[in-house]
Structure 1
Amino acid sequence: MTDKAPFAADPTQSRGRLHRETISTFRSPFQRDRDRIIHSSAFRRLKHKTQVFIEHEGDYYRTRLTHSIEVAQVARTLAGSLGLNTDLAEAIALAHDLGHTPFGHTGEDALSELMEPYGGFDHNAQALRIVTALERHYADFDGLNLSWETLEGIAKHNGPIILPDGTPKKGAIPAALAEYNAQHDLWLHTHASAEAQVAAIADDVAYNHHDLHDGLRSGLFTEEDLMALPITGPAFAEVDALYPGLDKMRRRHEALRRVFGVMVEDVIAVAHHRLEAAQPKDADAIRFLGTTIIRFSDKLFRELKVIRQFLFTRMYRAPRVVAMRAEVTEVVRDLFTLFMQDPTRLPDEWRDDVARARDEAALGRIVADYVAGMTDRFALQEHSRLLGSDMVRFTRYIVSG
C-alpha cells in the first residue's frame, strides 16, 4: 500500500450527487456508493446471471456475482499499489456488470437486436440506468443516487463515449446513457478516472484468469492444451519444475495463480511507467490525457490475444455452447415479443410505468428493463410458465467466463 497519489480521486472533492444528501459522518462518498451497490437488488440478482454456457454437474463455475467480487478484489489491489482511491475503484468494479441481461452476452446480443428500433441496448448504459432509475427503494429519489465519480466510471470505464469532434465513438449513444447524461453531465468526451480504468483492466484480469479455470473444469480443454500457449505454458512448466508429481488440481491452481500474477504485475509496472512519464497533477489530468493510462504492456496484450482466441474457439464457440446460445436467444426474443404485444402480462409493479409510456419506444424500454433484469433461472421459468415451453430444463446450464 502506498500514499495517495495527487491524481487519485479525492472523496472530499467529489462533484457530488444529483440529489443533495447529508454527508455521512463515518463513510466517505465512495464507501457509501460501494455499500449501496452491494445492498441493491440488482447486485443480488447477479448470483444467478452467467456468461458462457457450460453444462455442469457442480457449483464451481463463476457467476456474474462471483466474477464481480473477483474484479473488485483485483481493482483494490491495483488501486492500492498505485496510490489511487481503493473505495472508488471497488465501487465501480462491483457495479460494472449490473446491467447484464440473463444469459450474458448472448442475451445482450438478442436484446440489442430487439431494441434497435427503440434506442438500442448496451449493458454499461443499462447499469447506469439501474443505479439512477430502476432501483426504487429510497424515499427521496429513484436509483441509488451515487456520486458523480462512480457514475462516470460505470458509464465510461472502457473509454470515452464521444470523440473529440463530438461524434459518438461507436454508433449512436445508447438511449439510457444519453437520457441520464442530459440531466447530469458525465463528461462523455473524456477518459474516466484512473480508478475507473483500474476497474476496467481488473475485469480483463479476472475473466482471463477464471475462464481458464472454468474451461478446464468443464472439460472443454486440458492442461496439455494450455502448455502450448504463451503465459500459461511457462506457468505450468514452472510449477512442474518446482513441484514434480504434484496432483492435478493443485498443479492447475498453482499454474493459474501464476498467470494471474503475471497479469497484475504487468499492469502495475506499465501504469507506474506511464504515470511517471505523464506526471498528471490531479484526477482531471488523467481524464484529459487523451489515452488510457492503465493497461497491459504491448507484449502481454499480444500474448493474451492468443489465449483469448484459443478460448473463443475451444470454449465460447464449442458446439454445445453454440447450441445453447441459439436456445436461450429464442427465450429472450419470445419474452420480449410477448410483453410488447401484451404489456398486461408484466407484473403489477410495472403497470404504472406502462401507463406512463408515451409511445412504442418508451414501452420497448420498459420491456427491456424488465427482461434485462431477469436472472437466467427466472427467464427460463417465465418462458415455461407464459409460453408453455420446456426450456426450464436448461437450468442445468451455467454461464462462466
Structure 2
Amino acid sequence: MTDSEREEPGLQEFNAVLAPYACHSNQSRGRRFAQPPAPTRSEFQRDRDRIVHSTAFRRLVYKTQVFLNHEGDLFRTRLTHSLEVAQLGRSIARSLRLNEDLVEAICLAHDLGHTPFGHAGQDALNECMNDYGGFEHNLQSLRVVDVLEERYPDYDGINLTFETREGILKHCSRRNAQLIEQRESGGVGERFLHGWQPSLEAQLCNLADEIAYNAHDVDDGVRSGLISMEQLCSVPLFERYRRQTLEAYPHLPPESGQRRLLNETIRRMLSDQVYDVIRATSKAIAEHAPQSVDDVRRLPALVCFSDAMRAESTALKQFLFRELYRHPQVVGTMALAQRVVKELFSIYFESPTEMPPAQAAAAMASGEAMKRARVVADFIAGMTDRYAAREHERLTGTRLLND
C-alpha cells in the first residue's frame, strides 16, 4: 500500500488539488528522525503544529519588529509579523495551487532565530561572534528547530520535515552550507552549494515576508509619528492607493478620517501586491513549465513581482530605510539595544555561571572558546526584549531600556 493510499480521505482530496510542482506531503523527503505518519494530519500540518507549540514561537510576542516591545501596545512584534506573513502566504498559495500547510509552517517559523531588539540585536551578536563563526538569524532559526527546542525524549529539536527546514533556511553562506552538508549530506545546505532554488512554497514565504513588513512598517511608522502621510505621498506605490481611497471616500469623518484613510490605503496596496504576485508567478510558471518540485529547484526563482511592482516595492523599501529605520529616534534606541547585547555577551562569556544552570553547565563543559561562545549566543538569541533588558540591569546595575 502506498503512502497516498494510507492517507485519510481528506488528505487525499487536498493533495489532489495541488499543482504537480507543489510540495505534496506524501512525497516529503522526510524527517531527520523517522516517525510513523499521523492518522488525520499531513506531515506539513504536523510541522505547523509543532512550531506553534514551541517555546521559541511564544517568545516572538516579546521580540522587536521595528519598535521595542515596550514602546507601544499596538506596534507589530515578531509574532504578529509572522502571523501576517502566514496569512498572506496562504492566500497566495491557494491561488497558485501550492501547499498552504507548508507555506504556513515556513512563515510561522521563519523568524524563530531572531535575537531580541530585531536586526540591531542580530548585528551586535554577530559582531560578538566574529571570532567564533558569526551569527545569522536564518541559520539560528534552523538551529532552534533542529537542536535547541527540548520537547521530545528521543531527540533534540522538533524534528521538522526537510521541506519546512529548507524554507526556514532562507540565506546561508557557502561556508555554513558546507558545514551543514558535512553533517547532513544532501540536506538543506546542498542547494546553496549548487545554486539551486528552494520549493515554490519557500520562495513564496520569502516574498510574503517582504510584502508584510513593508505594509506594516508603514502602518507602525505613521502610528508612531516618526513618518507622516505627507512624506509617504512621495512614494508612488503608496500615493496611488491613497488617491484611490480619497476618490472612493471623499467625505471621511475628520475625527477618524486619517486612520481610516491609512488603513484603506494599506489594504488596497496589499491586495494589489498579492494579485500582482499571483499574475507574475503564474506567467513565470507557464513559461518554464515545471512538472515537479525537482524541476523547480533547478529553474530560476519563479515566485515574483512584475517588473513594475518590483520597482515600486523597492522604492517603498528605500523610503522606509531612509525615513524610518534610520530615523534618529530609532537609531538611538537601537544603539542602546546593541550595547545591551554586547555587554551581556561579554559578561556571560567571562562568567558563565551568571546564566541559568543548564546554560552555565553547557558553557563550562568544554574548554573550547568556540563552544562556549555558541552557548552564550544561543542563550542571548533566545531572549525576549524585556528579559534582555532586565538581565542587563541585573548584571550591570545600569538601566538602559524600559521593559
| Pair in the same fold by TM > 0.5 | yes
Residue 21 of structure 1, aligned match among 12, 18, 35: 35
**Pair 368,90 (structure 1): closer, same or farther in 2 beyond 3 Å:** same
Partner of 1:187: 190
Partner of 1:333: 342
Question: One-letter code of the match for 1:241?
Answer: E
Q: What is the correspondence of 1:234-383 to structure 2 with a 5 Å cutoff?
A: 234-246=240-252, 247-289=257-299, 291-383=300-392
**Pair 56,242 (structure 1): closer, same or farther in 2 beyond 3 Å:** farther
TM-score normalised over the length of structure 2: 0.91
Aligned partners of 2:165 and 2:188 also within 8 Å: no
Aligned partners of 1:119 and 1:175 also within 8 Å: no
Question: One-letter code of the match for 1:198?
Answer: L
For the pair 1:216 / 2:222, whether they are aligned, the reply is yes
Cα deviation code 1:249-290 (max 9, x no counterpart): 11111111011112111111110000000110101111111x
Give the C-alpha shift of residue 329 in structure 1.
Answer: 0.7
Name the stretch that deviates more: 347-356 or 74-83.
347-356
Aligned partners of 1:49 and 1:64 also within 8 Å: yes
Give the whole-Å Cα distance in 2 for the aligned partners of 1:180 and 1:191.
21
**Pair 53,45 (structure 1): closer, same or farther in 2 beyond 3 Å:** same
Partner of 1:70: 84
Partner of 1:201: 207
Give the C-alpha shift of residue 3 in structure 1.
Answer: 2.8
Residue 122 of structure 1, aligned match among 125, 136, 159: 136
Aligned partners of 1:54 and 1:321 also within 8 Å: no
**Pair 12,96 (structure 1): closer, same or farther in 2 beyond 3 Å:** same
Q: Secondary structure at the match of 1:121?
A: coil
Aligned partners of 2:177 and 2:190 also within 8 Å: no
Q: What is the correspondence of 1:19-98 to structure 2 with a 5 Å cutoff?
A: 19-53=33-67, 58-98=72-112
Give the C-alpha shift of residue 180 in structure 1.
Answer: 5.2
Overall identity of the aligned pairs, in %: 45
Question: One-letter code of the match for 2:31?
Answer: R
Name the stretch that deviates more: 353-362 or 234-243.
353-362
Question: One-letter code of the match for 1:248?
Answer: Q
Aligned partners of 1:384 and 1:390 also within 8 Å: yes
Give the C-alpha shift of residue 219 in structure 1.
Answer: 0.8
Q: Which runs of 5+ in 2 are unaligned?
A: 1-13
Cα deviation code 1:175-201 (max 9, x no counterpart): 985675459454333210000001111
Name the stretch that deviates more: 173-182 or 296-305.
173-182
Cα deviation code 1:63-118 (max 9, x no counterpart): 00000000000110111110010000110000000010000000000111111111
Give the whole-Å Cα distance in 2 for the aligned partners of 1:364 and 1:145.
25
RMSD (Å), alpha carbons: 2.0
Name the stretch that deviates more: 174-183 or 317-326.
174-183
TM-score normalised over the length of structure 1: 0.91
**Pair 268,76 (structure 1): closer, same or farther in 2 beyond 3 Å:** same
Give the C-alpha shift of residue 207 in structure 1.
Answer: 0.5
Aligned partners of 2:142 and 2:168 also within 8 Å: yes
Q: Which runs of 5+ in 1 are unaligned?
A: 163-167, 396-401
Give the C-alpha shift of residue 312 in structure 1.
Answer: 1.2
Aligned partners of 1:46 and 1:63 also within 8 Å: yes
Question: One-letter code of the match for 1:362?
Answer: K
Give the C-alpha shift of residue 20 in structure 1.
Answer: 1.1
Q: Secondary structure at the match of 1:118?
A: coil
Q: Structure 1 segments of 4 or more deviating over 3 A?
A: 53-58, 174-186
Question: One-letter code of the match for 1:357?
Answer: S
Aligned residues: 382
Q: Secondary structure at the match of 2:301?
A: coil
Give the whole-Å Cα distance in 2 for the aligned partners of 1:179 and 1:109.
27
**Pair 363,255 (structure 1): closer, same or farther in 2 beyond 3 Å:** same
Residue 144 of structure 1, aligned match among 139, 158, 164: 158
**Pair 339,9 (structure 1): closer, same or farther in 2 beyond 3 Å:** same
Partner of 2:6: none
Give the C-alpha shift of residue 10 in structure 1.
Answer: 0.8
Partner of 1:399: none
Give the C-alpha shift of residue 243 in structure 1.
Answer: 0.5
**Pair 57,126 (structure 1): closer, same or farther in 2 beyond 3 Å:** closer
Give the whole-Å Cα distance in 2 for the aligned partners of 1:283 and 1:357.
42
Question: One-letter code of the match for 1:235?
Answer: Y
Cα deviation code 1:177-233 (max 9, x no counterpart): 567545945433321000000111110110011011011101112222222211110
Residue 393 of structure 2, aligned match among 379, 384, 387: 384
**Pair 381,120 (structure 1): closer, same or farther in 2 beyond 3 Å:** same
Give the whole-Å Cα distance in 2 for the aligned partners of 1:147 and 1:108.
26
Question: One-letter code of the match for 1:303?
Answer: E
